[in-house]
Amino acid sequence: MSEQQDPELEEESEQKGFDPQLVLADERYAVIGSILCEVYEPGDHKWVLSDMLDRVLLHKYLGLPIFIVTMWAMFHFTFEISLVFMEMITQFFAWVGSYSSQIPIPWFASLLTNGVLSGVGFILTFVPPIFFLYLAISVLEDTGYLSRAAFVMDRFMMKMGLHGRSFIPLLLGFGCSVAAVMAARTVDGESNRLTTVLVSPLMSCAGRLPVYILIAGVFFPQIAGTIVFFMYILGIVMAIVVSLIFKKTLFREESSSLLMELSQYQIPTVHGSFRHMWDRGLMFLKTAGSYLLVGSIVMWFLSSFGLGGYGIPVDESFASILGKLFEPIFTPLGFTWQIVTALIFGFIAKEAVIQTLAIIYAVGGTATLAAALTASISPVSAFAMMVFVLLYVPCLATVGAIRKETGSWKWTAFSIIYQLILAYSVALCVIFIGGFFIV
């Protein structure tokens, strides 16, 4: 059956209040039904496993709680199983650093130990949770559950102003915001597509995960997995809230219905799941590796040099000058100049936030980053920092993708500005509310 529609018929349908896609779907299934009546003789209906699973997973009231519990289990699994691998990588780079620090040339020893190993090495300790997150997503995708999750979320997303098909780009945002923004081109309607582009960066990409794991592990070790899960849920909630505001102000186009076929349930194979994990994880490593080494060298230079040359205290370095310039703005949030500098470099890539912190504190002579953080900020400010990293300006690559997909510098600038305002406002609310519970 042809998929082509008469433009005049489509326009007439829209004027009469009909959705052309729904009309086409009704006609298609009517033809299918007439053919089945001639060639198919129904027998006794037998329940199969897929029917029973769909009855539960797609239930009007049970579907959403099951989805939330599944996501919590995924992030809890990611955090817990990664701990031993992260410790192994940490010990390895500590062992390498014990030798590099003995190099007789002081500045070169500092570059290798405090720059490359403290920067790139520290980032690599967070590779295991990223790989395990991709593994969990691959398993859910191969089983056929993710398409059911999109079906469950469609009803809630449409009420909040998001197109049902926007769920797929938002889900891709868990891996990379660039992929999420580019996938928004599949959303029907210019208004719906633009809304999806603008809210996709609010989803927690893989680059933010190291920040969550570090802060949650240091300040909330007993509930670290739950804290990481909460950050992902907060990103979804903020995307829905912001899209609702956009629909009430900037865009008034009605959300169209979601038409999709649910894939068959399958038992994921070990080879297939690990293959997907490896491909996606390797893509992350290639992307991150293209700038992590250069970023480490640049950050070491800014932290080790100042107006007085090499070897000055880190509080007098170029990095401190940059951070202290904007520190007064972030004083209400309890952020130090080190954190402010890290957030600035986070515009290049979100992984650069903890990379920058690791280098600054290493050059400053702090034994561990965890000790430095607990001595400089409170748990409430640490949580506010996670919220700010979640919501503030997307990375440079995502900004380029937004410019390409919207074809407008105006919308690109709007995306940057509104996310900065949103991040600061929500983080300030965290500080205000947290003040009632932390004395």
Please say whether the beta carbons of 194 and 37 come within 8 A.
no
- What does the pLDDT look like over 169-208, one tens digit per residue? 777 777 778 777 887 776 767 777 888 888 888 888 878 8
Q: Over the stretch 250-284, which tens digit does the pLDDT of each residue have? A: 776 555 555 556 667 778 888 888 888 888 778 77
Q: What H or E segment, with its residue span, contains residue 229?
A: helix 224-249
Q: Say which residue, 361 or 173, is predicted with more confidence.
A: 361
pLDDT, tens only, 134-150: 888 888 878 888 777 77
> Is residue 142 situated within a structural domain?
yes
Q: Is residue 226, in this structure, part of any structural domain at all?
A: yes
Q: Is there a single domain that holds both residue 116 and residue 206?
A: yes
* 103: number of Cβ within 10 Å: 14
- pLDDT surpassing 70 at residue 160: no
Do 67 and 33 share a domain, yes or no? no
The C-alpha atoms of residue 355 and residue 315 are separated, in whole angstroms, by 18
Residues 115 and 26 in one domain: no
Residues 29 and 104 in one domain: no
Average pLDDT for the chain:
79
58 within a domain of the structure (yes/no): no
Give the mean pLDDT of 98-104: 79
Integer angstrom CA distances of residue 298 from 111, 318, 365: 10, 11, 18
For 206, phi and psi rounded to 5 degrees?
A: -65, -30
Tell me what percent of the residues of the chain surpass a pLDDT of 70: 82
pLDDT given at position 298 = 83
Strands in 218-341 per DSSP E: 305-306, 309-310
3-class secondary structure, 393: coil
Please check whether residue 57 lies inside any domain of the structure.
no
Q: Is there a single domain that holds both residue 156 and residue 67?
A: yes
pLDDT reported for residue 1: 40
Q: How many domains does the chain have?
A: 2
Instruction: Say whether both 29 and 70 belong to one domain.
Output: no
Q: Using CA atoms, how far apart are residues 397 and 403, in angstroms rounded to an integer?
A: 10
SS3 267: coil
| Burial class of residue 52 in the structure, from the number of CB atoms within 10 Å of its CB (0-12 exposed, 13-18 middle, 19+ buried) | exposed
A 10 A CB-CB count for 217 gives 17
DSSP letter string, 93-125: HHHHHHHHTT-SSHHHHHIIIIIIIIIIIHHHT
d(CA 65, CA 88): 36
162 falls in which pLDDT band (50, 70, 90)? low
Give the chain's radius of gyration (CA, Å): 25
Residue 110: Cβ within 10 Å count? 21
On whether both 165 and 41 belong to a single domain, the answer is no
Domain interval for residue 105: 63-437
What pLDDT is attached to residue 155? Answer: 66
Domain presence at residue 150: yes
> How does pLDDT run across 233-246, given as a tens digit for each residue?
898 889 888 888 88
Residue 51: inside a domain:
no
**Which tokens go with 130?**
């990223």
Tokens, residue 382: 């640490």
Q: Quote the Cα angle for 206-210-211, to 5°.
A: 110
2 in a domain, yes or no? no
Mean per-residue pLDDT, 12-30: 59
Lowest mean pLDDT across 48-57, 199-208, 332-341: 48-57
Q: Is residue 422 part of a domain?
A: yes
pLDDT at 324: 92
Q: Distance between CA atoms of 242 and 227, rounded to whole angstroms?
A: 22
Considering 65-69, 219-223, 280-284, 423-427, the range whose residues carry the highest mean pLDDT is 423-427
For residue 82, pLDDT over 50 is answered with yes
- Confidence class for position 329, pLDDT limits 50, 70, 90: very high
Which residues does 339 contact at the CB level (< 8 Å), separation at least 6?
A: 323, 330, 357, 376, 377, 385
| Count of all residues that appear for the chain in the document | 439
Please check whether residues 31 and 170 belong to one and the same domain.
Answer: no
On whether both 13 and 85 belong to a single domain, the answer is: no
Do 321 and 400 share a structural domain?
yes
pLDDT of residue 46: 63
Q: Specify whether the CB–CB gap between 377 and 124 falls below 8 A.
A: no
- Mean pLDDT along residues 314-334: 91
Which residue, among 421, 408, 402, has the nearest Cα to 201 in the 3D structure?
Answer: 402
| 371/417 same-domain check | yes
Q: What is the mean pLDDT of residues 343-372?
A: 82
| Pair (311, 424) in one structural domain | yes
